[in-house]
Amino acid sequence: MNKKFRIGTVILAVIVLCVVLFSGCGSGGGEKTQKKQTTVAQPKDNTQAIQDIKQAEKIFQALPSPLESAMLMKSAGARFDRKFLNPVDNAKNYTTQSSQALNLGIFTCDLSFASLYDQTQLIIDYMNAAKKMADGLGILDAINQSTIDELEENINNTDVIMKIVSETFLNSNSYLADNDQPAIASIVLVGGWMEGLYIATQLVDEKEFNGNKLVGRIIDQKLSIEVLQNLLLSNKENPAIGVLITQMDKLKTVFDKISIKTKPIKTEIDRTTNTTILRSEVTTDMSLATFKELTEVVAEIRGTFVK
Amino acid sequence: MRIIRIISVLALFIAIATLNVNAQCKSFAKNECLPKLSPYTHDGNYHAAVLVEGEEAELYKTFYSDMEYRLAVVGESKLPNIEFKVMDENKNVIYSNKDNNYAQTWDFRLENSKQLKLVVKVTPFNKPGDTPASGCVAIMFGFKVKK
């Protein structure tokens, strides 16, 4: 009886240890990157509690989502070309956690791109490829059979498809955030962002470089590179992140050659729509040589993601 | 042995409660914050955290000139007002919902793409001796192509 009791206690202790370790202290936040320890203990007085609280700062580094990246390309007049997407057959090659996370972002971006251009069969194919990555990462029910069925039923309705893509991405990254896997969540975002940048750089015709709206969107990505670096640095304890940090440092050296000069923002309210308009003068400059270098470096890094 | 067992059971309850709080935060974001983005399309990103009275969170994001955006910041009803400020790179305040009766959403568009900083703060109740309230705060973005 005593032996049984001891064994029971040990098993209970092991289970508790596992649950405590794996539950972590995550409190949500897809791109939550710097989270100092927040201890919510019973305070002796309110002043001490407020002091503790002030030290507990949460910082989110928000990259454009794959859906937003695809929408930006379309609004800049990009044409659809499936040869720049990662073929769905490659899905079987991704067996490690980091390759599955990167390609969850990549396939979601490709899915978004296909959705905006009414590529009906590709939409189904890329949703299945994204599902395979999510399943591999243990993301439960992010994309299930009912998602695929709903997609098929609404295959000609772009608005519904975009809503489904948005929901599935939300399911994936909220699952990762809530299960204390911010490093994996950040890798997914990096994959999606790089895919958008890769497709955009590939779609630019160098003969129409000057005044090309898509080039403007590529220049804008300079604004996100530091956000991306901070996102990775806050998760650097993950071995896969170290490789990405080196790759993004290389990418930043190219972005540093692009000039963006801005003047302070002036606000104006459009009373008819109750929308605030943020007006500011911005001048940008990227040479064709820098664009070619950027295209090369992006293709090289993206090549390591999809291999 | 009995003490170890009691401690283990307590730890198990705490761990389960933590998981439950996280799950609640996710469903809170989906059920309470997401609907406020309509008719904009949610970008799919998830930013939510448990914040305590007086606590702040910051978010950095690039916004693009081709888009119209809606920002929604929603806290659980047990929390006091949620204040949010949007600032440019020089920390100039562009918008504060405090001047708009703590509105939960803000619609905006940009002439040129910019990186902006969002600061979200749970205002304190300021009742000495009270345990500070804590709860989920969700931050979400919706977008549509500028007409």
Q: Please, what are the domains in chain B?
A: 2-145 (2.60.120.380)
Among residues B65, B70, B72, the alpha carbon closest in space to that of B146 is found at B65
- Segment 15-34 of chain B within 8 Å of chain A by CB: 15-16, 18-19, 21-23, 25-26, 29-30, 34
Paired residues of B119 in beta bridges: B58, B85
CB contact B80 to A (< 8 Å)? no
**pLDDT score for A51:** 47
**pLDDT score for A11:** 52
% of chain B beyond a pLDDT of 90: 71
CB contact under 8 A, B89 and A282: no
What are the C-alpha distances in Å from A192 to residues A43, A199, A237, B23?
A: 43, 11, 21, 25
**pLDDT score for A28:** 29
- A190: number of CA atoms within 13 Å, CB side? 35
**pLDDT score for B131:** 80
Residue B25 has pLDDT above 90, yes or no: no
Check if the beta carbon of residue B43 is closer than 8 Å to that of residue A64: yes
Low-confidence stretches of chain A (pLDDT < 50) are: 1, 14-56
**pLDDT score for A141:** 81
Among residues A61, A103, A96, the alpha carbon closest in space to that of A198 is found at A103
Among residues B114, B33, B28, B5, the alpha carbon closest in space to that of A262 is found at B114
Distance from CA of residue A211 to its chain's centroid? Answer: 29
Paired residues of B118 in beta bridges: B59, B86
% of chain B beyond a pLDDT of 70: 81
Chain B residues within 8 A of A175 when measuring between CB atoms: 26
Nearest to A227 among B62, B95, B113 (CB): B62
Nearest chain B Cα distance for residue A187, angstroms: 13
CB contact under 8 A, B113 and A220: yes
Lowest mean pLDDT among A222-236, B10-24, B28-42: B10-24
3-class DSSP assignment, residue A108 = helix
CB contact under 8 A, B145 and A46: no
**pLDDT score for A25:** 30
Mutate to test the interface with A, among B1, B12, B60 (most CBs of A within 10 A): B60
**pLDDT score for B17:** 47
Average pLDDT of the residues of chain B = 86
